[in-house]
Every structure is written in C-alpha cells, then in structure tokens.
Amino acid sequence: MTYLNKPVADNIYYVGVNDCQKHLFENYLPLPNGVSYNSYLIVDEKVALVDTVDVAFADLFFRQIDEVLKGRTIDYLIVDHMEPDHAGSIGLLVNRYPDIQIVGNKKTFDFLKGYFTVNCPLVEVAEGGELSLGKTKLNFYMAPMVHWPEVMVTYDPERQLLFSADAFGTFGALNGSFCDDELDLTPFWDDMRRYYACIVGKYGMQVQGALKKLGGLPLQTICPTHGPVWKTQLPKVVGLYDQWSKYETEPGCVIAYGSMYGNTQQLAEAVAQGLVDGGVRNVVMHNVSKSDASYILADIFKYKGLIIGSPTYMNGLYPLIDSLLHKIEERGIKNHVYGCFGSHTWAGTACKRLTEFAETMKWPLVGTPVDNKQGADTETLNLCYELGKAMAAQIQM
C-alpha cells in the first residue's frame, strides 16, 4: 500500500518501499533496522516521478504508482542519482511507460547508457534549469560527489520542497509513516551519522559546497532517497550535515583495539580508565573483532579523540585494525587528536605502524605510544593509564 492519505505536499505522493530483508547495504554495511528506498510522484498537468527503487522491489513499486495514478501515465522520470538502489527499476519503468522522458544532466546520461539500454527521449538539464509540469515548476542544482559525480537535487520553489537524493538520508525502514513528526526518530539519528560516515563522509568539501549553494533556498520539506521526509527537524538535519562535513566533533574518545588473546584488551581498559579519571565521560570502546567498522567510523566522526591499539600480526598490524586505518584514511577525517598502543611477543611492529599513522592523517599525537611485550605488567598498564590521562587533558583543552 502507499501512504495515500498523507501526501508529502499538495499533489506529491510517496511511493517508496521498505527493505527489511537485506542484511548488508552495498553488501557490507549492516542493516539491523532495514532501509527505505524513497521515490516520489508529482501529479500535475504532467506527471513526474523522482527516482525509482531497487529492482528487487519493482513489483511493489509499480503497484503503488498504479494506486496513485489510476491509469494516468508518467510523463517524466527525474533521475537525481544513478546508484542502482535508486535507479535499478529504470529499465522496467521505461518498458512500462515507453513514452516517458528521462530528465537528468550530462553525467546522468553517461551513467544511464552504461547501466541500461533505453530508447526514450532524454531531457538534459543544467545548473538552475527548470521543468514545468503545469502549476508545478521544478529547478535543478548540481551536487557532484554527494556522493557520485552525477548527483543533482530537484527543488520545488512553490512548496519550498527539496528532493535531495542521498543527502540527508539515513538507514532504517519507515515504520508506518514517512513523516518525521509521526515516527520515533531515536534510532534514526545514530543511523544517520553512520550512513554519513560510511557513504558520504569522504566528500566533506563537496557537501559544504552543496550546503552553501542551497543555503539561500527557502525550505519547508526535504525528501531524501533514504529515511524519513524531514519537515519538523529541518534545522537539526541540516545542522548535522554542516557539522559532519566540517569534521566538527564532540568531546569524547573512541578506543578501537584488536586483541587475539586478551592482552591488548587489558591495555585498552587501562587507557579507558585513564580517560575517565581524567574527566572524560564519553568513552566508547570497540573491539574490532566484535564491532562492525561502520559503527566505529560513526563514533569516530562524533568524538574528538581516537586511540587505536593493535597486536603485531605477521610482522604487521592486526588485519581488522589495518582495514580500519585504511577506511579512516580513505575518508580524510580531520580535526582529531590521536594516541596509540601496541603489543607483541617477539617483534614489535604494530606500535611503530600506529605511530606513523598520526603523520599520515596529520593528527597531533597525544602522549607517549605504549608498546607492550608479551603479558601486560603493572608498569605497562600504568603507561596506558597515563596515555588515557594525557588524551583526556587534550580533549578538554
């Protein structure tokens, strides 16, 4: 069914779907609360569909469209983003509506030709371009690398409504409504930060550019391609994107560690005690063998301090720590203070590699890195405790 009794705005209807079956988004990010693929119908003298859904849900998607249109055709498909979770049903849609015109920018059409064989007319739009559906006039603004190069957003000035593609999206299925004021938003905030950190986080500069470009547009509603339609929470949602894309953080510290037999974990616990005794209350510990990297990254985006610990493994870093460092570097995370510790039995490589990571990221190295040989003794645990205290002082400066 569709939410027909609750239009997004006059003559605009939500025809998205919930995916509560998929375990992993993009086949690697956990979806404990599912995810929605949002699509919207604008019904005027002409009918426009804004984005489609994952092809696995095409039957439900078309059934919902039929419920709204009751035999009317779709004149335009507006493609704000070509990623397959939103563009996956384009081929089937064109077969169903052979006279449909696809609206996008030049890069959109480059991608479209790579994914689909379509013979319908293409309507190319550029920055500030306009499409008239009758009373409804739509404007288009380019938002490249938020988070693909072809991304654009669609703005309805009369309703002050923005179709924002993946921007302002979040993991989490929509339970009973698409409206932010009718949902318990508690789980969405953490999932929104995790979504940002993992999907968009590399492109902070581009997000800032898009926010500045769109900052002068009056806004009452944001319709993203994942998660709730934002109406009552607009200032918070836009503010969070501004904060995250500037890599602004809150006071607190993430300790991410790998431990094969518990020795490195003891060091991590001593570091945590030093942080707490130093006055830091927001201390989050992640055993990388238990915590999915997406949750670790989400917390790193949140808190100013980061301390990483690893045993030496095959004369290098513990593999899951090595992978985490790559993910952090890939996202170019800024404005953090950093500490590290390592452990080994006969060859102490991990602490050296972790220390070098501070230079890679251009982060200040806090305290003295601790390198433990074999079992943790009182002296080493005290050094870890002091590392925590030093980080606490730095966080609170």
Domains of the chain listed by start with CATH number: 12-245 (3.60.15.10), 250-395 (3.40.50.360)
Taking the C-alpha atoms of residue 129 and residue 126, their distance in angstroms, rounded to an integer, is 5
Contact assessment for residue 63 and residue 34, using Cβ atoms and an 8 Å cutoff: no
| Chain centroid offset of residue 239 CA | 15
Query: What was the pLDDT predicted at 143?
Result: 97
Tokens of 387: 């590392």
Contact assessment for residue 77 and residue 93, using Cβ atoms and an 8 Å cutoff: yes
Point out which residues pair with 383 in neighbouring strands.
none
pLDDT in tens, 345-384: 898 899 999 999 999 999 999 999 999 989 889 999 999 9
pLDDT in tens, 43-62: 999 999 999 999 999 999 99
Q: Which of 248, 257, 307 is nearest to 280 (CA)?
A: 307
| Chain centroid offset of residue 136 CA | 31
Is the pTM value of this prediction over 0.75? yes
Instruction: Identify the three-state secondary structure at position 389.
Output: helix
pLDDT in tens, 307-318: 999 999 999 899
